A and B are shown apart, each in its own frame.
Chain A
Amino acid sequence: MVEVMEMIMVFCQQDGGNLHRVGLELLSKAVELAKDIDAKVTAVTVGSNISHLATTLTQYGADRVILIKSELLEMYNSDLYTMALSEVVEKEKPEILLIGATQLGRELGPRLAARLKTGLTADCTQLEIDKESKLLLMTRPAFGGNLMATIVCPNHRPQMATVRPGVFELHTPNAGKSAEIVEYTPSISFEDARVVVEEFFEKIKEDIDITQAQVIVSGGRGVGSAEGFEKLRELANLLGGTVAGSRAAVDNGWIDKDSQVGQTGKVVRPKLYIAVGISGAIQHLAGINEGTYIVAINKDADAPIMKVADLGIVGDWRPIINELIKKLSKKASEEDNYEMARA
């Protein structure tokens, strides 16, 4: 008798032949989970020109790679992606299906879950296997991040979860790993696309992607103005980092929504996070990875951010940031002079 192993499937989003990092983060996590239920990890990617991605997906831990290929899938189309993926899921019957919670994933996930008539837990920050029931324990923030809830999906399959980019760590790729590569042609046609992308353009980005930054200078309500954010940007540039903000800062229009940290924004994992004028509501803290060193500058010594900060400075942010900018620019110009003198 052939024993059929259980499967954890990870949807790995790609665009223009480039994999999104979150899919690889989820593969890394899936490898850990697979040990606890003795399962195989299957990576699924969807597109037209994608065969070259199999190597990377294998090295990040896939035992099996399914390439769902069609010229119709060159660009993301929610109807065609849903059809193609649900076809593969129904065929493969995974125990668990993980999807990166990009906006694409947060649209595709519910489409798939409703079509497959199963549950979906959004934006999980923790995934574990329950020792007794072997169910996937999906933990996510609720009530705007004020409460954490652990969700299970006992009787419907697959158990589906989305996870934000940056929540799980990437494992080191294993160049020696091998996997079974399957090319799959879905039964879809152009007429199946009830929504059609007529045109699109990339948003122009001023700041670097905050999820990739090593240093983040982040501002909240206490910064008070867009002009104040220019100061933060100046400091961030001197530190080789980028500027970000809380929901209040985004709502006030001081910084773009793409640079929002928190439950409704992005999860960041820099080495250093300087929180300026941010009170530190749990919904904001939900966006900062645990390993990050947090420096908080706030007028209020009792602000919640002070309880989680590695260094809390009580005071007016302006003179402190101005002085820091002065000191760091002096240092930078001294180094420039040194370089010039050497040359």
Chain B
Amino acid sequence: MKIIVFAKQVPDTTEVKVDPIKGTLIRDGVKSIMNPEDKNAIEAALRLKESHNATVTVITMGPPAAEAILRESFAMGADEAYLITDALYAGADTLVTSMILAKAAELVGYDLILTGRQAIDGDTAQVGIEIAEHLGIPVVAYATDISISGDSIIVKREIDNRVEVISTRMPCVITCSKDMNTPRYMNLYDLFGCYSKEIRVLNNSVLNFDKTKVGLVGSPTKVRRTFTKGPKGDGKVFQGSVEESVEKVMNALAEVLNIH
């Protein structure tokens, strides 16, 4: 069984801050990490590798520096890695990104495709699902458990207030939630090996898209403008004894909720 995991390198958004004076993003010194839920997807793939004799191929799209997360995947135990990188692909929205990833999947071959539920920089949760549409195969989002027997697959997932047990057949796409597992750390044996393993590069000379159909140009959605949200108003900050603080809160309760 051949499993592809799509992973993404993202800025650690918990460390991205806004310059309070200029109102711009401070990205200096913010480290890039593998998107957390993509790690859950790799963990799920590695567990299936152990129980079902699968091979795990990790694919990412991004600038050459995104190679770092592929090395990390090797160190976790992935067998193969591909880096999709081409200046033509820069600025791709979710539809175009998923179209490029889908073509890479066709080229590499797959029985099962796993992705993280969503990436922390965009939070759209679209790309995994759209890959399935481009490939014309079924998809189950928000999975918390996967079990496989033959080519049939049982996925447990949480959707709104419901827990569902879904059956489908491979080939299919499953997007993995962080509740699925706890990703392993890089192991020492693979850590030594991870720099000697080959990362294959897929650019547009391989994937062969019409250049008007990819990147920013080919994307249906465009960013018109970006801005930061200013604070809502000048808050009154109070510092005093517990009694005084409680009184302030009680006054607010009286004002807002009419509790006296």
Contacts and interface: CB of A to CB of B under 8 A. Distances in A.
A130 to B, nearest CB: 8
A310 B255 CA distance: 12
A195 B166 contact: yes
A311 B220 contact: no
Given A306-B237, A311-B249, A110 B130 contact: yes
A314 to B, nearest CB: 4
A115 B231 CA distance: 40
A166 B141 CA distance: 23
Contacts of A123: 123-124
Interface string A164-198: 00000000000000000000000000000011111
B122 interface: yes
B235 A327 contact: no
A109 B64 CA distance: 31
Contacts of A152: 221-222, 224
A119 B93 contact: yes
Interface residues of A, number: 87
Given A122-B126, A151-B222, A200-B165, A239 B235 contact: no
A120 B225 CA distance: 17
Contacts of A151: 221-224
A144 B127 CA distance: 17
B154 to A, nearest CB: 7
B225 A150 contact: yes
A146 B221 CA distance: 20
Interface stretch (B74-82, B185-193, B239-247): B239-247
Contact of B246 (A113, A301, A327): A327
B22 interface: no
A86 to B, nearest CB: 10
B53 interface: no
Contacts of B118: 264
Interface SS of chain A: helix, strand, loop or mixed? mixed
B108 interface: no
Nearest to A288: B232
Contact of A144 (B14, B94, B129): B14
Nearest to A301: B237
A319 B129 CA distance: 48
A272 B253 contact: yes
Instruction: Specify which of A76, A282, A285 lies most central, judged by the most chain B CB atoms within 10 Å of its CB.
Output: A282
A169 B93 CA distance: 29
B121 interface: yes
Contact of A311 (B18, B127, B228, B248): B248
B206 interface: no
Instruction: Specify which of A107, A274, A290 lies most central, judged by the most chain B CB atoms within 10 Å of its CB.
Output: A107
Nearest to A112: B133
Given A142-B122, A320-B245, A327 B250 contact: yes
A72 interface: no
Given A196-B167, A311-B249, A314-B239, A201 B162 contact: yes
Interface string A102-126: 1110110111011101111111000
Interface in B86-136: 93-95, 98, 118, 120-127, 129-130, 132-134
B44 to A, nearest CB: 18
Instruction: Specify which of B25, B168, B224, B257 lies most central, judged by the most chain A CB atoms within 10 Å of its CB.
Output: B224
23 contacts: A110-B124, A110-B129, A119-B221, A120-B94, A120-B95, A120-B124, A121-B221, A122-B122, A122-B125, A147-B226, A147-B228, A148-B226, A149-B226, A151-B223, A156-B220, A194-B169, A195-B166, A215-B257, A308-B233, A309-B235, A313-B249, A314-B237, A315-B242
Given A107-B125, A144-B121, 19 more contacts: A113-B94, A113-B126, A117-B220, A120-B94, A122-B126, A142-B122, A146-B25, A146-B228, A151-B223, A194-B172, A196-B166, A196-B168, A197-B165, A202-B161, A214-B257, A264-B120, A304-B231, A307-B234, A311-B252
The 9 closest A-B pairs by CB, nearest first: A144-B13, A119-B220, A114-B133, A119-B221, A156-B220, A194-B138, A312-B237, A114-B130, A110-B129
